[in-house]
Amino acid sequence: MSMSAQEADRGIRILKERLDACDAVLVGAGAGLSAAAGLSYFDGEAFRKYYPDMYRLGWHYPYELVGRRDDEWTRGRKWAYWATHIHYVREIFPAAELYRKLLRVLEGHDWFVVTSNCDRQFFRNGFPMERVFEYQGNYDNMGCSAHCTTHTWNDHDALQRVLANIDHETFECREEGIPKCPYCGADAEICFRGEDWQQNADRYVRFLEQARDRKLLLIEIGVGYNTPGVIRWPFENIAAEFPYAFLVRVNTGYVQYPDRTGFPQVPRSLEGKAAAIDMDAAAVIEALEARV
Ligand SMILES: [Zn+2]
């Protein structure tokens, strides 16, 4: 059930008033933000087009592969998958205008972003990354599978070599295409959390400490129950514990999977400290940006 147009207007008005009156803004961005920008892990059409080998092998949309246990996959299969997926997310899918609109909404405020998204849309759209914490890391970080070093690196060329070495019959990367650690020669791996992860986590904590006794507006966008411990539950706790904090939760049902709701509700215990907007993130950000 989505909001009526009237309720939607009211929700956006509340959000705009809170934004104008706050001292600091903390945005929590989940997969729903990228989905609203067109990058959806439930997009079967894109999957068929850009992951054709995997489609032929019986998968239907990217989310089937997210967080799966791939113990039974060979190294070649793992790399074929990662290179195909990352190539789609990082190279084929463009930097999304919706993120730039969000940045314009935040300009002039003291703001910070925490995100569970690994897709690098904040980075690609010019967000100052000292104000963005990618809680679950991102697809650009490669590391050593033997952990000979804590150094992480971004190796676009290595992923291109994987793509060039995929055997399309078996959907496995041939041995000579598998990326290696430049230090010890063991296999490389996509490691998500880069060497700067802790430093970025510390920045997030500092922002929160400084916001504790200020008028902090929490804007949660497109965060469901896949990894609620990253943003959703912490944001509810912050709204409850910080005396002047207010949480606005923006979420709606998934377009491709109408039976999976976005869970826009806020707990009753947060009455007076939270509001829910059951609308697509794109509609909310565009309405706000039009009023900046
Ligand atoms: Zn190594």
Q: Nearest Cα to 217, choosing from 250, 245, 251, 249?
A: 245
The whole-chain average pLDDT of the chain stands at 92
pLDDT band of residue 6 (cuts 50, 70, 90) is confident
Which pLDDT does position 1 carry in this prediction? 46
190/62 Cα distance (integer angstroms): 17
Q: Provide the pLDDT for residue 81.
A: 94
Q: How far is the CA of 164 from the centre of ligand 1 (A)?
A: 23
Kindly list the domain boundaries of the chain, sorted by start residue: 5-39+93-136+198-290, 44-91+142-190
CATH number of 5-39+93-136+198-290: 3.40.50.1220
Confidence band for 255, pLDDT divided at 50, 70 and 90: low
The CA 135 to ligand 1 mean position distance, Å, reads 24
Gap from CA of 83 to ligand 1 centroid (Å): 20
pLDDT at 258: 53
What pLDDT score does 72 carry? 81
Q: Two tokens at 68?
A: 């799966």
Task: Compute, in angstroms, the gap from residue 148 CA to the centroid of ligand 1.
Answer: 4
Separation in Å, CA 94 to CA 31, 86, 88, 227: 16, 13, 9, 25
Ligand 1 center to 155 CA (angstroms): 14
SS3 letters for 181-238? CCCCCCEEEECCCCCCHHHHHHHHHHHHHHHCCCCEEEEEECCCCCCCCCCHHHHHHH
Name the CA radius of gyration of the chain, rounded: 20
Question: For residue range 61-70, what is the model confidence (pLDDT) as tens digits?
Answer: 888 877 677 6
Q: 141 C-alpha to center of ligand 1: Å?
A: 14
191 Cα–ligand 1 center, Å: 13
Q: Crossing angle for the helix pair 281-290 and 5-21, nearest 10 degrees?
A: 60
Mean pLDDT of 265-277: 92
Q: How far is the CA of 181 from the centre of ligand 1 (A)?
A: 5
- Span from the CA of 168 to the centroid of ligand 1 (angstroms): 29
Q: What is the pLDDT of residue 9?
A: 86
At 2 the pLDDT is 58
Q: For 145-183, write each residue's pLDDT tens digit.
A: 999 999 999 999 999 999 999 999 999 999 999 999 999
Tell me the average pLDDT across 188-208. Answer: 97
Q: For 111-142, what is each residue's pLDDT tens digit?
A: 999 999 999 999 999 999 999 999 999 999 99
What are the phi and psi torsion angles at 172 (to 5°)? -135, 145
Q: Is the pLDDT of residue 110 over 50?
A: yes
- pLDDT of the residue at 169: 93
Beta carbons of 59 and 65 less than 8 angstroms apart? yes
Dihedral over Cα of 180, 181, 187, 193: its sign: negative
- pLDDT, position 217: 98
Q: Is 3 left (phi over 0), alpha (psi -120 to 50) or beta?
A: beta
**Which amino acid, one-letter code, is at 217?**
L
Evaluate if residue 264 carries a pLDDT over 80.
no
At 24 the three-state DSSP class reads: strand
- Model confidence, pTM: 0.93
Give the mean pLDDT of 190-215: 97
How much distance in Å is there from the Cα of 182 to the middle of ligand 1? 7
pLDDT band with cut points at 50, 70 and 90 for residue 42? confident
CA of residue 188 to ligand 1 center, whole Å:
7
54: amino acid identity, one letter: M
How many Å lie between the centroid of ligand 1 and the Cα of residue 179?
11
257, pLDDT greater than 70: no
Query: Closest Cα partner for 283 from 1, 3, 27, 25?
Result: 3
**pLDDT tens digits for range 73-97:** 999 999 999 999 999 999 999 999 9
